[in-house]
Amino acid sequence: RQKKMVKKVKELMSEREKIRNIGIVAHIDHGKTTLTDNLLAGAGMISEDLAGEQLFMDFDEEEQERGITIDAANVSMVHDFDNDNYLINLIDTPGHVDFGGDVTRAMRAVDGAVVVVDAVEGSMPQTETVLRQAIKENVKPVLFINKVDRLINELELSPQEMQQKFISVIEEVNEKVTGMIEDEEKKKEWKVSVNDGSVAFGSALYNWALSFPHMEETGISFKEIIDHCRNEEHLELHKKSPLHQIVLNMVIRHLPNPLTAQEYRIPTIWDGDLERDVGEQMVACDPDGETAFMVTDISVDPHAGEVATGRLFSGTLKEGMELEINGVPGKNRIQQVGIFMGPDRVDVNKVPAGNIVAVTGLKEAIAGSTASSTEMTPFESIKHISEPVVTVAVEAKNMNDLPKLIEVLRQVSKEDPTVEVEINEETGEHLISGMGELHLEVVTHRIERDKGVPIQTSEPIVVYRETVTGNAGPVEARSPNGHNRFYIEVEPLPDQAVQEIKEGNATMDMPETKRREVLKEAGMSKKNAKNVKSLHNSNAFVDRTKGVQYLRDTIELVLEAFEDAMDSGPLAGEPCRGVMIKLDDVKLHEDAVHRGPAQVIPAVRKAIHSTIEDAKPTLLEPMQEVYVHTPQETMGSASREIQSRRGRIENMGQEGDLSVIEGKAPVAEMFGFAGDIRSATEGRAMWSTEPADFEEVPQNIQTELIKEIRERKGLKVETPKSD
Cα separation of 715 and 723, whole Å? 19
Smallest distance, ligand GDP to C-beta of residue 206, A: 6
Residue 58 assigned as binding residue: no
Q: Which of 71, 149, 297, 489 binds ligand GDP (CB under 6 A)?
A: 149
**For residues 237 and 339, which CB has a smaller minimum distance to ligand GDP in the complex?**
237
- Please name the amino acid found at residue 22: I
Does 94 bind ligand GDP (CB under 6 A)? Our answer is no
Cα separation of 185 and 410, whole Å? 46
The CA–CA distances, whole Å, from 478 to 22, 187, 613 equal 58, 57, 17
Q: Which of 89, 198, 203, 281 binds ligand GDP (CB under 6 A)?
A: 203
Does 28 bind ligand GDP (CB under 6 A)? Our answer is yes
The H or E element spanning position 586 is strand 579-587
Cα separation of 669 and 462, whole Å? 10
Residue 451 assigned as binding residue: no
How many degrees, rounded to 5, is the angle at CA 692 between CA 705 and CA 167?
Answer: 155
The answer to whether 131 and 176 have CB atoms below 8 angstroms apart is yes
**For residues 77 and 362, which CB has a smaller minimum distance to ligand GDP in the complex?**
77
Smallest distance, ligand GDP to C-beta of residue 150, A: 5
**For residues 205 and 461, which CB has a smaller minimum distance to ligand GDP in the complex?**
205
The torsion of the CA quartet 647, 652, 655, 660, rounded to 10 degrees, works out to 10
The answer to whether 563 and 536 have CB atoms below 8 angstroms apart is yes
**For residues 208 and 313, which CB has a smaller minimum distance to ligand GDP in the complex?**
208
Does 228 bind ligand GDP (CB under 6 A)? Our answer is no
Smallest distance, ligand GDP to C-beta of residue 146, A: 5
Smallest distance, ligand GDP to C-beta of residue 153, A: 8
Does 30 bind ligand GDP (CB under 6 A)? Our answer is yes
Q: Which of 8, 66, 150, 483 binds ligand GDP (CB under 6 A)?
A: 150
The residue range among 31-39, 498-506, 688-696, 702-710 that interacts with ligand GDP, by the rule CB under 6 A, is 31-39
Does 32 bind ligand GDP (CB under 6 A)? Our answer is yes
The answer to whether 334 and 304 have CB atoms below 8 angstroms apart is no
Please, which residues have CB within 8 angstroms of residue 188's CB and are 6 or more apart in sequence?
Answer: none
**For residues 118 and 621, which CB has a smaller minimum distance to ligand GDP in the complex?**
118
The answer to whether 649 and 622 have CB atoms below 8 angstroms apart is no
Task: State the DSSP code for 46.
Answer: S
Smallest distance, ligand GDP to C-beta of residue 207, A: 9
Residue 33 assigned as binding residue: yes
Please, which residues have CB within 8 angstroms of residue 79's CB and are 6 or more apart in sequence?
Answer: 43, 85, 86, 88, 244, 248, 252
Smallest distance, ligand GDP to C-beta of residue 205, A: 3
Using DSSP bridges, classify how beta strands 19-26 and 84-91 pair: parallel, antiparallel or unpaired: parallel
Does 31 bind ligand GDP (CB under 6 A)? Our answer is yes
Helical pair 495-502 and 512-521, crossing angle rounded to 10 deg: 140
DSSP labels, 396-455:
ESSGGGHHHHHHHHHHHHHH-TT-EEE--TTT--EEEEESSHHHHHHHHHHHHHTS---E
Does 33 bind ligand GDP (CB under 6 A)? Our answer is yes
Smallest distance, ligand GDP to C-beta of residue 221, A: 20
Q: Which of 29, 224, 364, 441 binds ligand GDP (CB under 6 A)?
A: 29
Does 34 bind ligand GDP (CB under 6 A)? Our answer is yes
**If binding means CB under 6 A, how many residues of this protein chain bind ligand GDP?**
17
Does 69 bind ligand GDP (CB under 6 A)? Our answer is yes
The residue range among 145-153, 286-294, 535-543, 578-586 that interacts with ligand GDP, by the rule CB under 6 A, is 145-153
Does 66 bind ligand GDP (CB under 6 A)? Our answer is no
**For residues 31 and 361, which CB has a smaller minimum distance to ligand GDP in the complex?**
31
Task: State the DSSP code for 76.
Answer: E
Does 577 bind ligand GDP (CB under 6 A)? Our answer is no
**For residues 146 and 539, which CB has a smaller minimum distance to ligand GDP in the complex?**
146
Please, which residues have CB within 8 angstroms of residue 617's CB and are 6 or more apart in sequence?
Answer: 466, 467, 468, 469, 569, 570, 571
The residue range among 38-46, 197-205, 333-341, 691-699 that interacts with ligand GDP, by the rule CB under 6 A, is 197-205
Give the closest residue to 387 by CA, choosing from 242, 248, 503: 503
**For residues 64 and 457, which CB has a smaller minimum distance to ligand GDP in the complex?**
64
Please, which residues have CB within 8 angstroms of residue 4's CB and are 6 or more apart in sequence?
Answer: none
Q: Dihedrals φ, ψ of 628, to 5°?
A: -125, 130
The residue range among 146-154, 235-243, 256-264, 698-706 that interacts with ligand GDP, by the rule CB under 6 A, is 146-154
Binding site as annotated, residues for GTP: 26-33, 92-96, 146-149
Binding site as annotated, residues: 26-33, 92-96, 146-149
Interface residue list for ligand GDP (CB under 6 A): 26, 28-34, 69, 95, 146-147, 149-150, 203-205
